[in-house]
Structure 1
Amino acid sequence: MSHTNTFLRAALLTLAALASLNVQAQSFGDIPESQRERLLPQIEAATGSTDTQQEAESNTSWQTGTYGPLLPEDQKKQLTPFGVELFTGGFRGLRADGLNPDYRILPGDQITLRLWGAVELERVLPVDAKGNIFIPSVGPVQVQGVSHNQLNNLVRSAIRNVYPDNVSVYTNLQGVQPVAVFVTGFVNQPGRYVGVPSDSILYLLDQASGIDEDLGSYRNIQLKRDGEIIANIDLYSFLLNGELSHPQLQDGDTLVVQRRGPAITVLGDVSKPLLFELEEGSALAGSELVSLAPLSPGVSHALIRGKRGTEPYAVYQPLENFSSASLANGDEVIFLADERSSNVVVQLEGAYLGRSYYVVPKGTSLLEVLNAIEVDPQETAYESVSLRRESVKEQQQRALEDSLRRLETTYLGASSDTAEESAIRVKEAELISQFVKEARKVEPNGRLVIANEGKLVDVRLQDGDIITLPQRTDSILISGEVYIPQSMVYVPGRSVSDYIEAAGGFSQHADDDHILIARQNGEVRDAGDIALRPGDQILVLPKVETKNLQIASTVSQILYQIAVATKVALDL
C-alpha cells in the first residue's frame, strides 16, 4: 500500500497541471480609466480587411496542424485507390433486362411476331444457333447482331418481299438469353456470375465484390472471348468523364482485372488521401494530377518524393511550378498550404457592440483589439475580460486524460494480499471507475484568465482566439451539492454561507470544506480567500464516500482540480 500511496502523491503533482485548465496570467497593470469607460476609445487601426480571413485561417491551420484532414504519416493508414467507392453494392441492384434499344440480338433470344391484314399470325419465335428466326411462308430471317431498335424494320422488310400489300407487322423482344461470365484476376471474390448480354462490366465487378484495393488495376481490365482479348477497359474514363464502352457480353466471356501498374500517392492538404494509377507506359504531368486530386483550399506548394533510377529524388516547389513536373511510378506527392499570412483572425463573444470578427496583423496585442471594440459600460463587465484558445483546450484535454489514466493504473491494477484487502479493492475500484467515467465527460474550456481584480494582461493574440466580454449581471449562482441549486440577486454584505442556506443548505453529499467561487473571467478561488461580487458562482464540491482516507483525499483533490478547470462539480 505504501508504494501505491507514493505513486498517487506523484500522480497528484501531475494533476496539479490541471490548474492550467484555467491559466491565470500575471498582472500587467491597472486598467486605464479611459478603458473603464469604454475599454479604450474605438479606433480603426490594425484591424485589416475581412477578405484576408481565409488566408489567415489557412496559414494558422498549417502551423497548428488543423488545416486538412491529417498529417501525411497518418493519412497513409487511410490511403485508398482512386475509384474504390465504385464497388459498394450500387451496381448489383441495377441489373439490366436486356430490352434496351441498343441490345444486339443473340442466339437463344425470343421474339414475339404478330401479323394482321391479308395474313394473320401470332407466334413466339426463338433465335436459333445460326442467328435466324423462321417465319412460316417467309422462311429464315437473319437477326443475330441486329439491335432491338432495328428489329421491326428488318422483319417487316423480309415479310413484304412475300406479302407486299395489306399486311401489318409488329415485333417485340420478349426475353433475352442469360449469359454467364467469369470474373477473375485481382478482384475480391473471383467466380462465375450471371447477367444479360447488355450488362455493364461494372455490374459483374460489383458482383465479385469489387477490385482488390491493394493489388488490382482500375486502368487495365481485359474482356476475353475464346482466348482472345476483345476489349481493354480503363475505368478512369468512366470515373472522370462518365464514359464506359465495351462489346456486348456473351456466354463464356472472361473478365480479367490485371495487377495494378505504376501509381502515385497523393497526401497532405487534400480532402482524402488517394493513390492514382498511371496509364501503362506513360508519365503523368503535375497539371494532370492537380486536376485529379481533391485539393483543399489554400494549397500553395507540392513536395515530390521518390526515385529517379536508383537515386532518391525530392523537390519542393510552388504549385504553379508543379504543373510542369513529370511524375513517375512510386512518387509520393504531398500538397501543402504553406503560404505564411501576416494576419490572424480573432472572434468576440458576450456583450459588445459592432462586429464579431477582426482580422489583425500578427503580434497584435489584446489591448489593441479592445481599442476597436465599442461597449456599453452598463452592460459589459469589462473588468472580467478573458480569452478562449483552442491550443490550450487541446493541452487541457490531454493532461486530464493522462491524469485519469494514471489514476486507473494505480488503483485498478493493484494486487491484494488478503481476502479482506481484496474486498476493499473491489469497493475502491467501483468508486474509481465511476469517478473516471464521469470525469471523462468533462470538456475543458481552454480559457485563459487575463483579468484579475481590476488588472489586465496585454497578451499577444493567436489565430482563432475568442475574446469574451461577459454580460454584466446582478445575480449569484449557487450550484453543486446544495438542495436547491439556483440563481439569486446579489446583496452586498451577504456571505457565502448565507447564499448556501438560502439554497436549502448543503446536500447530504456536500463537502463543506471545499467551496469554490468561480468568477466571470474564468478565475476560480477558494471561498475563504475572496469576497463575493455580482456574477460570481458558488460551487459546492461533493464528498467522496469511502472509508479509505487515501482514496478520499486523492479523488477530492482531483475533483477540486476539475472544478477549477471547468466550473463543473462531478456527482459521485
Structure 2
Amino acid sequence: IDKIKKYILDNAYPNAKVSVALVNIRYFQIQVIGAVNTPGFVRSSVVDRLDRIIDRANGFHQLAREFEITVKRKNGEIKNINYLNFIRNGDLSQNPTFLEGDIIIIPFGNINDESVALRGAVKGAGYDVIEPGETLIKFLTRNIKLDTYSDLQSVIITREGENSKSFKRILPSEFSHFQLMAGDIIDILRERGIMVNGFVQEPGAYEFIPGYSISDYISIAGGNTLEGNANRAVVYHPDGSVDKGNNILLNRGDVIVVPRTILNTFVGRLSLLQMTAYIFSIYMSYLAATAYI
C-alpha cells in the first residue's frame, strides 16, 4: 500500500491526499501434491494460509509427513515447513501465505518405519507418522481430538520387542520424556464410569460423578421399570466384591443391578385383574376337588 501511495504522489498528483482501500481479493489456483485427501489445484488468495489450503484439499492424509512440507516458488525458491510447530506453538511462520504459482508438496511417510497407531477413546483413531525423536506429549499436543471421557491417566503403549510384546502404562509425569518409536500402539482408555443394568428404563454406562448415590444413578437411567425394585439394588465392584443397600459409596467401574420385585419373580407381568382371576380359578379348582371328599 505504501508503494502504491508513493507511486501516485511521485508520478501523478504530488499534493494529493491518497488513501487506498481493498475492495476485492484476487483468487488464483495453487497446486497441492502428495499426502492430502484430495490432491490437485486448490482455490487460494494471498491472505489464505496453509491450514486453509489443506482444509480445502480435505485435510492431510493419515500418513502425511506434516513436519516436512516443501513449498516451491516460481522464482526457484524452496521453503521448508514444519506444520506441527504451528499446531503446537502457534508459529505463524510455519503456517504461511502463498503466491500464485507456488507448489505445495506434502510427502507420505512409511507406515512400517515411521508410524504409530492411535486407538481407544479418541476421535479419528488410526495411523500417524511421527517425527524423529517425538515424545508422547508432543504427539498428544498435535491436533488430536480426545473423547469426552478420555482418561489420560491411563495411556498404554504396546511395543514390539525382538521376541515379545511389552506393555507400558505411561503416567502424565512421563509424557514429556517418553520417546515414541515406529510401530508403537498408543491406547487411550476411556474413563471408567458407572454401569446401571437390570430392570431400569435406560440401562447403560454413565459418567462417574463423585457423591452420587445408587438412587441418583437409577434416576439418571430413567428409574426402575414396573418389574424392578430399586430398593433391592446390588452393587458389583471391580475387585469382585458385592454390596447391597442405598448408602454404599460408589467408585469408578462399579456396576449397579436393579433386580425384579419378588412378586414379579413369581407372577411375571400379570395385571391385578389377571392375578385375581388366576387365584380365584385355583380356589375354585380346590373347592371342586374337595367337594367329593
Classify the TM-score, shorter chain.
Answer: 0.5 to 0.7
**Secondary structure of 1:265 counterpart:** strand
Tell me which residue corresponds to 2:78: 230
8 Å CA contact 2:150, 2:191 repeated in 1: no
Tell me which residue corresponds to 1:284: 134
Tell me which residue corresponds to 1:273: 125
Q: 1:241 to 1:288 in 2, by over 3 A?
A: closer
Q: 1:297 to 1:200 in 2, by over 3 A?
A: closer
Counterpart Cα distance in 2 of 1:278 and 1:172: 45
Q: Give how far 1:247 is off.
A: 5.2
RMSD (Å), alpha carbons: 4.6
Q: 1:230 to 1:175 in 2, by over 3 A?
A: farther
8 Å CA contact 2:235, 2:257 repeated in 1: no
8 Å CA contact 2:46, 2:99 repeated in 1: yes
Counterpart AA for 2:159: G
Q: Give how far 1:172 is off.
A: 4.0
* TM-score, normalised by the number of residues in structure 1: 0.33
8 Å CA contact 1:267, 1:273 repeated in 2: yes
Tell me which residue corresponds to 1:314: 166
Counterpart Cα distance in 1 of 2:55 and 2:84: 16
Q: 1:169 to 1:307 in 2, by over 3 A?
A: same
**Secondary structure of 2:65 counterpart:** strand
Tell me which residue corresponds to 1:521: 264
What runs of 5+ residues in structure 1 fail to find an aligned partner? Answer: 1-147, 374-461, 470-518, 528-534, 540-572
User: Within the alignment, does 1:184 sit opposite 2:37 as a pair?
Assistant: no
Tell me which residue corresponds to 1:544: none
Counterpart Cα distance in 2 of 1:284 and 1:345: 44
Counterpart Cα distance in 1 of 2:77 and 2:164: 38
User: Within the alignment, does 1:363 sit opposite 2:241 as a pair?
Assistant: yes
Counterpart Cα distance in 2 of 1:316 and 1:167: 73
Tell me which residue corresponds to 1:256: 105
Question: What is the aligned residue count?
Answer: 231
Tell me which residue corresponds to 1:478: none
Q: Give how far 1:211 is off.
A: 3.2
Counterpart Cα distance in 2 of 1:271 and 1:188: 18
User: Within the alignment, does 1:333 sit opposite 2:186 as a pair?
Assistant: yes
Q: 1:313 to 1:178 in 2, by over 3 A?
A: same
Counterpart Cα distance in 2 of 1:189 and 1:270: 24
8 Å CA contact 2:234, 2:243 repeated in 1: no
Tell me which residue corresponds to 1:158: 10
Which of these residues, 244, 249, 256, is aligned with residue 464 of structure 1?
256
Q: 1:536 to 1:260 in 2, by over 3 A?
A: farther
Q: 1:230 to 1:537 in 2, by over 3 A?
A: farther
Alignment of 1:86-485 (within 5 A): 148=1, 150-151=2-3, 153-155=5-7, 158=10, 163=14, 167-173=16-22, 178-213=27-62, 215-226=63-74, 228=76, 230-245=78-93, 248-260=97-109, 262-270=114-122, 273-279=125-131, 282-291=132-141, 294=146, 296-307=149-160, 312-320=164-172, 322-323=174-175, 324-336=177-189, 346-347=214-215, 349=223, 363-366=241-244, 369=245, 463-466=255-258
Q: 1:337 to 1:239 in 2, by over 3 A?
A: same
Higher helix share: 1
**Secondary structure of 1:197 counterpart:** coil
Larger RCO: Structure 1 or Structure 2 (Cα < 8 Å, ≥ 6 residues apart)? 1
For residues 473-524 of structure 1, give each alpha carbon's deviation from its aligned partner in whole angstroms, at most 9, with x where no partner exists: xxxxxxxxxxxxxxxxxxxxxxxxxxxxxxxxxxxxxxxxxxxxxx853544
Counterpart Cα distance in 2 of 1:273 and 1:317: 19
**Secondary structure of 2:46 counterpart:** coil
User: Within the alignment, does 1:536 sit opposite 2:279 as a pair?
Assistant: no
217-226 or 170-179, which deviates more? 170-179
For residues 334-362 of structure 1, give each alpha carbon's deviation from its aligned partner in whole angstroms, at most 9, with x where no partner exists: 234699x9xx97445569xxx9x998976
For residues 93-139 of structure 1, give each alpha carbon's deviation from its aligned partner in whole angstroms, at most 9, with x where no partner exists: xxxxxxxxxxxxxxxxxxxxxxxxxxxxxxxxxxxxxxxxxxxxxxx
Q: 1:358 to 1:241 in 2, by over 3 A?
A: farther
8 Å CA contact 2:151, 2:188 repeated in 1: no
Counterpart Cα distance in 2 of 1:177 and 1:330: 46
Alignment of 1:548-559 (within 5 A): none
Counterpart AA for 2:188: F
Radius of gyration: which is bigger?
1
Q: Give how far 1:330 is off.
A: 1.9
Counterpart AA for 2:72: K
* TM-score, normalised by the number of residues in structure 2: 0.57
